[in-house]
Structure 1
């Protein structure tokens, strides 16, 4: 279901296939600085798995340092084609982990209508003790009426704005900041480790 995504320039760095690996049954999405290159990584299901609605769950261990950030998100292939999220879809950030906001702090967002009239809900903030250590589960329930965000089975946010009603695909990524200032406290290499992704559908 997964293929390396977005190889090429990404903000101040480069998404490189060498930063994606599988080891002992886990997906490793890595970040590193080599010579004069800042490298990140991403995989997506655009070519193999697009769907509408469901419960999308990822079990993962987050990166250790601030700067680059781990993300589990969903994207619409039509998001820049129009402004109605029901018709053109949305970017659903199931989670983004910006360590500089706190060890046990996580954010969630929804964006739609890419372009001059882009709209967003968020940043939605969640705090849960121990997020920076070990594996945790992060999930989205997406229905025709709402998005609901979960961490370790606990419901943190529910919103009804920007709801997509079209097929979308999943992305896992280790994102690179937009400025050199953003990596001043980064440690390299660093890794976002994913145990599994599961998608549940109602009968």
Structure 2
């Protein structure tokens, strides 16, 4: 997702609900005796609704979620969300620990005191988290892609940057994307203006020819930017190689060579398609040194595959890809569970959002007529202040 002199880049959704499994109904309140409670060894972390996996589109939520982790709890063990009633702890949500080592709940309200408790097979409390007061998160940007058109008060189709380094055989066009049934469908397509003309490309010692292509790229530049918070996109990825879908952030005031604190490219998620050996999501950070030389860190993250159901693929279900951005770190998550944390190259400057589906020259060897019609789907995009 790179241009030579300009870039584009960010990244989310409960009576208590356990995710990523299907919603869990709230059981009748149960009171616990505080006398026998163990010492708190777990952590209850509050965040916006950045976990909402399912096969179908869904409306984003303004509710608060909580992720419970414990020192000794096993996969599948019963975990409850408990609310302080003033006379004891009452169960307001119930689920089972995910194989990644955590359980996600949605808070019934944002003013009560909460904790999570892990139960033994007999139903006794064996571990608890520290108690945390609920809180709300303020939404500063939201698009559900309702209707049949892009909301141009929020987004703009990006112009093609010239020279289009790494994308000599493509240009950006609104003809490569559609909006319908509450979903943005990002695609690529042959360029009709250059039909019948082959593009010759050369990159990193490789070369070839390919029909000219149209690509998708939308951005909130000059319409919305933010500094610090949670940025999330609920997406269902395309299937095959030859193109890559992205949700990313870019500095509103461009880059300052040698000073990444004044702006970095934040690739919240990229997906380059499946292979027989892997089907992994990726995340990256890009910046320039004092000599204006480009640097990047990040990679594909096989561990992230553990954060979805075993039977799912990134192309079969919607998942929420998010970044939590503070003055000290970026935390990259899928469905509310962390897969990468970076503390060294942290922007302190305003950044805007981008969504794209691109055919870089290095991918064209894998792009065939039978795969050109594939789409990456974006259900919603949302940003919360920290």
Counterpart in the other structure of 1:201? 385
Show CA shifts across 1:20-39 (max 9, x none).
22101111111122534311
Which of 72, 95, 106 aligns to 2:247? It is 72
2:344 aligned with 1:161: yes
2:332 aligned with 1:170: no
Which of 178, 186, 189 aligns to 2:373? It is 189
Structure 1 distance, partners of 2:360, 2:335, is: 27
Does 20-29 or 156-165 show the bigger shift? 20-29
Counterpart in the other structure of 1:43? 218
| Equivalences for residues 135-146 of structure 1 within 5 A | 135-146=318-329
Does 24-33 or 117-126 show the bigger shift? 117-126
Task: Give the number of the structure whose residues are more often strand, by fraction.
Answer: 1
Structure 2 distance, partners of 1:159, 1:178, is: 29
Counterpart in the other structure of 1:125? 301
Counterpart in the other structure of 1:24? 181
TM-score (norm 1): 0.89
Counterpart in the other structure of 2:155? 2
Structure 2 distance, partners of 1:162, 1:22, is: 35
- Structure 2 stretches lacking a partner, 5+ long: 1-153, 196-210
Structure 1 distance, partners of 2:231, 2:334, is: 12
Counterpart in the other structure of 2:272? 98
Structure with greater contact order relative to length (CA < 8 Å, sep ≥ 6): 1
Pick the structure with greater CA Rg.
2
TM-score (norm 2): 0.49
Deviation, structure 1 residue 149: 0.5
In the alignment, is the contact (CA less than 8 A) between 1:67 and 1:185 conserved in 2? no
